[in-house]
């Protein structure tokens, strides 16, 4: 291999200014980035997040919300810390791992629902902070003043329950009175806990709803319970039977 005519070409850091319209779909990959698909009118929205985890409880609950409200996708979050595989859909089309944001109009507050197939790699602690922080950056620009994270709590004996953790004693008590059990002296792992605690640092109110689950496989019952509890708290009574057809597959 000849060295004649050899020269160097270094990839510079590509800097894109926020809010600049990018016509060609080109983005920087050294931090999370958000792609907006539309600009729905949102007033005082409540942000609800359900990611994969114990029993996939959070993700199942999020899918039930999306189905119930017929919520529409309006944004996607990508990150180079999401797993390095790509999913292929039924028709053979690839897409990068991502979080998806949906919106649903309600009487009092609009709802923003976020879910995804993945979380950052287990080992990459900083990635968890960064991604949760980016999510909050985004929902704050949308005017969101209250957040709900949904997840699972692993238990060894069968005891169906919804646990609550909150950013303030007032909120913990309020949801305890609605039937949740205080998650006293517990720990919440991954995005379900971090988004809540980071919201607290920003003085955003919020709660975590945690459904008890016995296994690591998808627990539709626990997901439904969390969904039902949240709906009741939002003033909607939910009948059983909805869960059957609408839980995510995996």
Residues numbered 25-54 forming contacts with a copy of itself, rule: CB under 8 A: 25-39
At residue 167, the 3 state secondary structure works out as: coil
Minimum distance of a copy of itself from residue 134's CB (angstroms) = 5
Q: Which stretch binds a copy of itself (CB under 8 A): 50-58, 63-71, 192-200, 230-238?
A: 192-200
Residues 6 or more apart from 189 whose CB is under 8 A from it?
53
Q: How many CA atoms lie within 13 A of 5 on its CB side?
A: 2
Q: Which of 108, 159, 203, 239 binds a copy of itself (CB under 8 A)?
A: 203
Minimum distance of a copy of itself from residue 172's CB (angstroms) = 4
CA-closest candidate to residue 79, choices 61, 60, 98, 52: 98
Cβ proximity to a copy of itself: between 112 and 165 the closer is 165
Rounded to whole angstroms, how far apart are CA atoms 164 and 146?
Answer: 15
Q: Which stretch binds a copy of itself (CB under 8 A): 1-9, 43-51, 103-111, 229-237?
A: 1-9
Cβ proximity to a copy of itself: between 36 and 217 the closer is 36
CA-closest candidate to residue 155, choices 181, 118, 132, 176: 181
Scan residues 138-177 and list those touching a copy of itself (CB under 8 A): 138, 164-169, 172, 176
Q: Which of 70, 89, 156, 240 binds a copy of itself (CB under 8 A)?
A: 89
Scan residues 210-249 and list those touching a copy of itself (CB under 8 A): none
Angle in degrees, CA 173, 209, 213, rounded to 5: 125
Q: How many residues bind a copy of itself (CB under 8 A)?
A: 95
Residue 143 DSSP one-character state = T
Q: Which of 49, 110, 208, 213 binds a copy of itself (CB under 8 A)?
A: 208
Q: Which of 47, 54, 69, 82 binds a copy of itself (CB under 8 A)?
A: 82
Q: Could you tell me which residues are beta bridge partners of residue 213? A: 154
Burial of 207 (0-12, 13-18, 19+ CB in 10 A): buried
Q: Which of 54, 146, 183, 227 binds a copy of itself (CB under 8 A)?
A: 183
Minimum distance of a copy of itself from residue 166's CB (angstroms) = 6
Distances (CA, A) of 44 to 21, 48, 68, 119: 26, 13, 20, 27
Residues 6 or more apart from 201 whose CB is under 8 A from it?
none
């Amino acid at each position: 291999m000849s060295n004649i005519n050899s020269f160097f070409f270094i990839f510079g850091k590509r800097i894109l200014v926020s809010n600049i319209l990018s016509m060609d779909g080109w983005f920087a990959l050294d931090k999370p980035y958000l792609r907006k698909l539309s600009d729905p009118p949102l007033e005082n929205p409540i942000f609800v997040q359900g990611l994969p985890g114990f029993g996939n409880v959070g993700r199942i609950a999020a899918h039930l919300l999306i189905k119930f409200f017929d919520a529409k996708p309006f944004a996607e979050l990508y990150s180079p810390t999401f797993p390095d595989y790509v999913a292929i859909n039924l028709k053979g089309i690839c897409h990068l791992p991502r979080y998806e944001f949906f919106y649903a109009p309600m009487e009092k507050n609009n709802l923003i629902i976020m879910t995804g197939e993945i979380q950052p790699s287990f080992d990459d602690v900083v990635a968890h902070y960064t991604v949760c922080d980016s999510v909050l950056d985004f929902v704050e620009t949308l005017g969101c003043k209250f957040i709900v994270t949904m997840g699972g709590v692993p238990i060894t004996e069968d005891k169906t329950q919804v646990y609550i953790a909150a950013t303030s004693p007032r909120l913990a008590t309020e949801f305890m009175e609605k039937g949740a059990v205080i998650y006293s002296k517990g720990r919440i792992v991954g995005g379900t806990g971090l988004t809540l605690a980071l919201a607290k640092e920003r003085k955003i109110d919020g709660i975590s709803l945690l459904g008890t689950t016995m296994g690591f496989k998808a627990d539709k019952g626990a997901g439904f319970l969390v969904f039902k509890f949240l709906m009741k708290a939002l003033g909607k009574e939910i009948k059983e039977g909805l869960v059957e057809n609408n839980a995510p597959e995996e």
